Structure 1
Amino acid sequence: MAVEERDPVSGRRTTGHEWNGIKELDTPVPKGVLIFLIVTHIFAVLWWFLMPSWPLGDTYTKGLLDVNQHKTVEEQLVSSAAQRSSWMDSIETLSFEQIQADPELMSIVKSSGHQLFGDNCAACHGIDGKGRANYPDLTDDDWLWGGDVETIAETMRVGINSAHPESRFAQMPSFGADGILNREEVRSASAYVYSLSHEDYSTPENIGRIEAGKEVFIANCAVCHGENARGNRDLGAPNLTDPYWIYGGDLQTIVNSVHGGRQGHMPTWDERLTEGNIKILALYVHSLGTDEE
């Protein structure tokens, strides 16, 4: 019979295994670990009987509790649709003014509108609606086509430069690239436009170019932007006298715009969103600007 070998320090038995002079102790598994394993196995067996668990070809064991996530989700969807229909009917039938006058409906509009905006509009305009490079800020009061709720809803419905038969169309010509203006005329017109929102640019050394640019502007740009350069919302022509710019208001970017032209695009939403959802989004977008005032 083999004699048990014990570790002289701990007094525990060894397993007889040795690695590089280090002998392995025959240490028992801690009771806490054993209890945890036993409880885990008991829980697993109970779960197999109570909950859906084992696949059986094209089906599975249902469990004694008859838990069905598909059924639960369907019930939640039906309940949500019923709750939504109660206020969606009001939004679809009431006018914009009536909805705006109802604090409870506007609270729903802002909540559901934020969700709709995030799902459909935030990719271009940002989750906060403040826009990004080449996409307009929807939180200010600078609008290409008008910022009243009805106009916002119409713009969403038909889009801008979209395939919709009633789409709003707007395009800035490529004055330089198409040879409408020569290089000096492009730079002069750009300098004039830049000076409209940067008073400090009108220095003695720049005034000659600015005055020449004004003549070019009146002859070529005023038909859309107006002689005062304040834009025309019927044509989608922006105001050039304020600090709000879609493509950038520094001098070089303005030169690039005059030379190469601009043509924005907004998709039509009338086939992707319901009329009620378009109304909600229009009211929500309108509130982004009015709430900050």
Structure 2
Amino acid sequence: MSKREADEVTGVETTGHEWDGIKELDNPLPRWWLYVFWASIIVAIVYWVLLPAWPGINGYTKGVMGQSDRANVAQELQALRDLRGEGAARLTNATLEEIESDPALQEYAMAVGQSVFGDNCATCHGAGGGGAKGYPNLVDDIWLWGGGLADIHHTLQVGVRSGAEGARFSQMPAFGRDQMLTGPQVNDLTELVVSLSGREADKAAVARAAPIYAAQCVSCHGATGTGDQAQGAPNLTDGEWLYGPSREEIRTQIWSGRNGVMPSWAGRFDDETLKALAVYVHANAGGQ
């Protein structure tokens, strides 16, 4: 047998492998690595004996401990179903006011409502309910259809312009797009709306728009612009704007009549879940 080549610098024999003039040294593995390697083998053997390990044709080796994650998960799920079943039964038989007056039941409803809100509502309204452009802010006291507990519950049930039976419905006309008003008239009306919110506006434009507002807008927004929750008509005198307070956004709303949609959740959630969600929104997100 021929003797293997030794490295001139270290004196260590090479493996005979060479890449681009670089030769691999035949160094022994570090002792700590060998210890870990053999310890891993020992642990694996112990695992095979104690816990489920080897699959077979008709099942698998159970191990002397009889451990089963599947059985543990099944037990935990059943316990959770039992707990939720008890809470759901109490929610079913309680009124919304009784839920909020019972600390234990309210705590349960809040936990369920928070989970449902995060999975279904946060996409539009934000994780904290702060809303976004075109999506209402739920943490303030501005509510188009009322922020009482019963109001919120009803809105969740039927939605807004959702197509469901009894849905909340309001219609902002597209005054410019549908040629109900001319461009200059829309500009004047924009100035009037700006003035209603207490900001500086073109007085001549406001005067020209006054009869237009009386003819087209008063029936929903009121003579002073304070709106009407019964119709879902927004208050034009506060500082809250669904699409933004700039003149450009206000003009676009008057011109195009943007009307958002909120789905009806009655067909997706049972009554207990709807109650829990209403309680969560009302208690945690700025209910009136």
Fold conserved between structures, TM > 0.5? yes
Q: Which amino acid in the other structure matches residue 268 of structure 2?
A: R
Q: Which runs of 5+ in 1 are unaligned?
A: none
In the alignment, does 2:121 pair up with 1:121? yes
Which range moves more in the overlay, 123-132 or 160-169? 160-169
Q: Distance in 2 between matches of 1:16 and 1:55?
A: 39
1:7 CA displacement: 6.6
Q: Contact 1:141 / 1:289 at 8 angstroms: preserved in 2?
A: no
1:133 CA displacement: 1.4
1:2 CA displacement: 7.0
Q: Which amino acid in the other structure matches residue 207 of structure 1?
A: K
Q: Distance in 2 between matches of 1:23 and 1:272?
A: 68
| 2:226 alignment partner in structure 1 | 230
In the alignment, does 2:99 pair up with 1:99? yes
Q: Contact 2:160 / 2:168 at 8 angstroms: preserved in 1?
A: yes
Distance change in 2, residues 1:40/1:151 (3 Å): same
| 1:130 alignment partner in structure 2 | 130
Q: Contact 1:171 / 1:264 at 8 angstroms: preserved in 2?
A: no
Q: Distance in 1 between matches of 2:63 and 2:150?
A: 54
Q: Contact 2:192 / 2:205 at 8 angstroms: preserved in 1?
A: yes
Aligned residues: 287
Distance change in 2, residues 1:16/1:226 (3 Å): closer
1:290 CA displacement: 4.4
| 2:190 alignment partner in structure 1 | 190
Question: Which TM-score applies when normalising by structure 1?
Answer: 0.87
| 1:143 alignment partner in structure 2 | 143
Distance change in 2, residues 1:52/1:18 (3 Å): closer
In the alignment, does 2:13 pair up with 1:14? yes
Q: Distance in 2 between matches of 1:268 and 1:191?
A: 36
> Stretches of 4+ moved more than 6 A in 1?
1-9, 20-23
Q: Contact 1:177 / 1:259 at 8 angstroms: preserved in 2?
A: yes
Once the two structures are superposed, the pairs formed by residues 1-293 of structure 1 within 5 Å of their partners are 13-15=12-14, 17=16, 25-56=25-56, 59-199=59-199, 201-202=200-201, 206-290=202-286
RMSD: 2.6
SS where residue 139 of structure 1 aligns? coil
Q: Distance in 2 between matches of 1:168 and 1:48?
A: 63
Q: Distance in 2 between matches of 1:118 and 1:166?
A: 26
Q: Distance in 1 between matches of 2:196 and 2:204?
A: 15
1:25 CA displacement: 4.7
1:96 CA displacement: 2.0
1:17 CA displacement: 4.5
Q: Distance in 2 between matches of 1:42 and 1:179?
A: 84
1:93 CA displacement: 1.7
Deviation per residue, 1:115-135 (Å, 9 max, x gap):
111011101100100101110
Q: Which runs of 5+ in 2 are unaligned?
A: none
Q: Which amino acid in the other structure matches residue 186 of structure 2?
A: V
Q: Which amino acid in the other structure matches residue 183 of structure 1?
A: G
Distance change in 2, residues 1:258/1:71 (3 Å): same
Question: Which TM-score applies when normalising by structure 2?
Answer: 0.89
Deviation per residue, 1:49-90 (Å, 9 max, x gap):
433334446854444433333322221111012222333322
Q: Distance in 2 between matches of 1:16 and 1:185?
A: 90
Using the aligned pairs only, state the percent identity.
36
Distance change in 2, residues 1:222/1:36 (3 Å): same
Q: Distance in 1 between matches of 2:266 and 2:243?
A: 27
